[in-house]
Amino acid sequence: MADEFITIEKGLGPNGRIAVVRFDRGIRANPLSTEAMRQLRRAAESFEDDLETSVVILTGNGTAFSAGADLKDARPAEASIAERIHRQRSGPKMCAAWERMEQVTIAAIEGFAIGGGAALAVSLDFRICGRGAHFRIPEVELGMNMSWGSIPRMVALMGPARTKQAVILASDRIMAPQALEWGLVEEVVDDGAALEAAMAFASRIAEQPPLPVRMSKTTVNKVAFALADAVSHMDPDQNVLSALTEDYREGTAAFREKRKPRFTGR
């Protein structure tokens, strides 16, 4: 049986309408293995028939929200293209499950949200982070595309230019104050206080009438992401294609060897 990385606590806050989902791999970086992504997806889906919960807070292990895809996760070297594309859909399915939730969702972020961790964070409705937290989107520097449907979500939050800057300048850390200025997060608090601040924000929402809250969230998301599927449905295919390039091999080798990559466009 797989290790359980998720704990869910319900019945919190005003009228018992807040739930807290904790994702903890027991590893400092809190990476997203395939199994971890399945568990996070199932956690989101477990709220589908929950009419009592109005707000769901997702948080990490206190040190990190998530460092993104687990590079130690087993990847069969001889996998077919179809198998690779299927595997690449684990992340998009996880993020889509969190975006589709009818409950209002809040990410309480300490430490860092990198790559897939940032993709998961932007799938939620709100983000609150500690002052020392940072975000980074390293995929391009590894020779990959930024996928998981996150580009439309980041554009909705930050606009086109900031999204290009965040994604293309892959080495740059987006520190908490900058993330607030860009619109990537809604609130920055003292380190260690992100969950407490998220609970306070969630309590305000939980005091509102639940049905109009759900209706309002759904309407806003339908407007904001009306074209999202049209521009991101090829993400897994592009990810597999980029993984076949020389630049991908160079980018990942440079990462392992802790050196600057030398890309050739091949």
Give me the pLDDT at residue 75, please.
Answer: 62
Give me the pLDDT at residue 1, please.
Answer: 39
Give me the pLDDT at residue 60, please.
Answer: 97
Please return the burial class of 177, using the count of CB atoms within 10 Å of its CB with bins 0-12, 13-18 and 19+: exposed
Cβ contact 46:84 at 8 Å: no
Give me the pLDDT at residue 149, please.
Answer: 87
Query: How do the pLDDT tens digits run along the chain, 266 residues long?
Result: 356 999 999 999 999 999 999 999 999 999 999 999 999 999 999 999 999 999 999 999 989 999 998 777 656 666 676 666 666 778 899 999 999 999 999 999 999 999 999 999 999 999 999 999 999 999 888 888 788 889 999 999 999 999 999 999 988 999 999 999 999 999 999 999 999 999 999 999 999 999 999 999 999 999 988 887 777 777 777 777 787 888 888 888 888 888 888 888 88
Give me the pLDDT at residue 81, please.
Answer: 67
Beta strands in 82-236 (DSSP E): 104-109, 112-114, 126-130, 134-136, 174-175, 187-189
Which of 11, 106, 91 minimizes the C-alpha distance to 60? 106
Q: Report the alpha-carbon distance of residue 216 to residue 54 in Å, rounded.
A: 12
Q: Which domains does the chain have, with CATH numbers?
A: 6-210 (3.90.226.10)
Tokens of 193: 């206080």
Q: Report the alpha-carbon distance of residue 241 to residue 21 in Å, rounded.
A: 34
Residues near 62 by Cβ (< 8 Å), separated by ≥ 6? 110, 111, 192
b/e 212-226 (16+ beta carbons within 10 angstroms → b): ebbeebeeebeeebe
